[in-house]
Structure 1
């Protein structure tokens, strides 16, 4: 039975290109065997394997929280995956043993169900890239596949989402706003096309507070009726103040460090402090948007300041990929919008530009304004986008290159957010000439 290490230390492992666990410390090897696999066979811990796949796909180190199922217990882990040639090295820390949850991996693989609680009908979970990390046996039956075959596949390739009675896609809206959802009609792409499922999900967060995916259910009328609709997250005044106070202190301390107010400091440490300050300010704006009164979301914002904050949030990714982010100096650029939505759009646009830029390239952010419109232009020097694809990539689940990862929702969500604020996103591109995305909003 898997147990905690006798002394606090990282647990190491290694996965090959085919996803096989080819080396592992004793504790990881024990979990692998309790999951019905072995050293040299496919890594049978779905959430750990998902982190390894993501690191290989991106070509950069990735750290994520994960849960691994032992024979009679669960283990909470912090997984760090580092690509090394054709292999990925794994470092597991924070090994915390707790009682087993209801959905057991051994049950999914056909183990002894009498000694383990049965999973709830229709349970599923997906990571931040919307790739499935767990599927209950009952849901797998509805989808016309074995549960083990579905792990790691994009949720949008398993379900065909349909609009609800209001003409909306609740899951897409929830992915944009990072909140729970319910009542998302869907059909199984490979299952019975006559069965309509209703998807619901709650947000999962990583140890650093970042979005880590959804945990939810997919029910049909045979599974017990309607699902409860998650209530929008509300923050009362007392909790609002309780959250703001420590964030204000974090921002103040980080800015003092970045400004070297307390004495000399290495440049990289000062840069880290600046990143902390920007991330805390972004979180503060999220709290503000949650706690504000309905109908007060649109106000005058400064596009130049928000663009700078978005650039800071993407800077670590750009640095890893060897891409520069160049921000054109600009005075305040007032626009009518909502801070959190604007930052989310710009993070998406800048992140896309970084991802499609060659190593050593640059992503530039410029600004423009007229009497009625304020704009941020995000340009890259990547492969560009063919004219025939320039409208298609704004559709849900569409990507310019079918080999790309992700869900194909980023641009669709960004354009929807922009239009909800009375603005839009436009594209100017050509093959081999890079791409230029422009976020335009009404002038503030």
Structure 2
């Protein structure tokens, strides 16, 4: 059963409860009106000369009233009530006798009325000695109540159908909206699997070719170069597999992350120093602008891994002659270390998702500079594992480039 079916069942049950409650409420109102009419007839009976009398029901919604002896043994014709339709079958002797015997009013529905069910109130009238000298009986057709109830049912059915239609339409829209992120995530994972397979297949193919060359010509002087190439490709595969393993451990929550005080300035400075030689070799100026101290709580080793990923990304996307800057500051209970570059920046349409796992701004087979597209996503997850965060933005100034800011909780 779909959610629309469940909603229909709930609405049906709710409708039944409302109708039952409403029917009882309207019946109580009918009894109240009948009792009021009976009391009014009692006053007429006491102040008049006739021993017994009655009021005819001229329309289906009118109330018929009669005052009869305690035994109810009097014909309707003797009361000038007219035919049975105008008298609504009054008097009902059994109810009259019951009220006289118990000396208290009673009410009930009589199914044997002339035109269907009739609601009847019987109220005893006592003399000065407390004896019942007459019983006033008032009646009204149940058709009045049933007509009102059926009107409510019609309104509830119409409202229920409209609610189901709206719910079905809203449910389809919401389900499609809810499924869109799942479909996008699945598509990213599918692309990632294809990219990871490509990344693994390329070095494996090179290792295989080099191994076959070694087997054909084991004494070739170029063997050392071939072995070096093999080791390079094996290292590349090892790095990719390490990234995949780290992602799996982050997903399962099994990655151990320390929460100890350390100096973010020191961690950022050490990470930058490891990239000085590489940056210089690629004609990139690496500037370090850090305060003397940025005390934080977290995992110093994992933070170094985050900063290394940010620096690697900045160096890869900064052209020769450009600048990569590592800076830091403290604000609002957190410490921040940022890595900015003078590269092309991130296209605005990719910026909101550049840190998502399995997402890359470039296609895997056309990008330049290497990388698996996992470094920034891993960096963000490692930051969040330390109760911090990683954000990406383009340079706020007029120049090109991107800024990646790592924030961690400040240490007291």
TM-score exceeds 0.5: no
Report the structure, 1 or 2, having the larger strand content.
Answer: 1
The structure showing larger relative contact order (alpha-carbon pairs under 8 Å, at least 6 residues apart) is: 2
Q: Normalising by the residue count of structure 2, what TM-score does the alignment of the two structures yield?
A: 0.41
Q: Normalising by the residue count of structure 1, what TM-score does the alignment of the two structures yield?
A: 0.38
Instruction: Please say which structure displays the higher CA radius of gyration.
Output: 2
Report the structure, 1 or 2, having the larger helix content.
Answer: 2
